[in-house]
Structure 1
């Protein structure tokens, strides 16, 4: 059963996952130049990302160039771009939907069942977004490791894992973990509730959830001399004696009892 605190923790985890995925998508630190061998290079490091490639010169200058043609890119890079953008869109939608369905917000307060389902849908969006972030990050990590240990690739063309790959993995895990916490709202049941908002105890007599007046059933068999009756205001009429000399004592009913008219 998801509580308000659990939903709040899941929301912030999903928000951190969204921010980490955004940083990983924008920055070019997906692949770093591997400095192996005894060759002296004039550039202190080359980095590559989804949108640009940068060169860090030994003089301290940092120059970046964006990729000129989309069609000239490799298929894995194009797919990584698309998946990261879709992940950001889904995380943003999950963030907006989760705000509407969380218990700590005032949106959709009148319909409790719908509010819980909305929070669960937001959590599902976070889970899918985290999975879509994990796919291109893992794909790129595998390619970098295979090229690094491949003997056919020259040493000057070998790269190491960049910081954005580590950040992408952490962001994907945070998004899926936060989405799972929000998705627990689907498991929240309605224990002890009957039809039309009434609850049942013991013998099965319903009573309203919010208190209110108790329905009174009048039994004509008790409205006779020497018996006990119930008037329209919910009071007990006790007749004593016989004939016209008998008095009538009015006693109020105790609140919370279901009067059936049978004594």
Structure 2
């Protein structure tokens, strides 16, 4: 069985990763354009930053690009899976009182939660990478006055996926 300290490390890494993924999902800076007058496009709204900052929520789901719709959906699915995995992991960790009489079953539950966290982290990491790939492809194939670059939310999302995946890996360790 894994040590209690290793399980706690995995749980807290995953928790930090989930918080980073939530933060990235909410952030506006997924794409950016311009130098003096910046335009930020997020998954939920678009902001224009100049002398005055104005933000508008995306009104219609049908007006959004497929890239934004898919990224939204998979990030929300990843967050839902992460929430369920954190609850399952809590039940299976050695430091909790759930299932005290059955140590073997408790270890299996912790591993299942870790596998779920690894899957959620990989989903976040992969969909963020696909989003960046699309932004870079658009950058190379469009006129330079209409190009977007990826912003800070991408890095926050990558770090969230990375931390969630490695936290889940620590939770799945049986004899580390």
TM category, shorter: over 0.9
**64, 83, 99: which one pairs with 1:73?**
64
Q: Deviations over 1:177-198 (max 9, x none)?
A: 000111114x69xxxxxxxxxx
Question: Larger relative CO (CA 8 A, sep 6+): 1 or 2?
Answer: 2
> Please, what is the CA RMSD of the aligned residues?
1.4
Aligned to 2:38: 45
**158, 164, 176: which one pairs with 2:165?**
176
Q: Which protein has the larger Cα radius of gyration, Structure 1 or Structure 2? A: 1
CA spacing shift, 1:26–1:20, aligned 2, 3 Å:
same
Residue correspondence of structure 1 range 222-261 to structure 2 within 5 A: none
- Asked if 1:159 corresponds to 2:157, the answer is no
Task: Provide the C-alpha distance between the structure 1 equivalents of 2:53 and 2:6, rounded to a whole number of angstroms.
Answer: 44
Task: Provide the C-alpha distance between the structure 2 equivalents of 1:29 and 1:122, rounded to a whole number of angstroms.
Answer: 31
Aligned to 2:28: 28
More strand by share: 1
Task: Provide the C-alpha distance between the structure 1 equivalents of 2:99 and 2:54, rounded to a whole number of angstroms.
Answer: 51
How many residues align? The count is 176
SS in 2 for 1:55: strand
Residue correspondence of structure 1 range 46-125 to structure 2 within 5 A: 46-57=39-50, 59=51, 61-125=52-116
More helix by share: 2
State the 1:76 CA deviation. Answer: 1.7
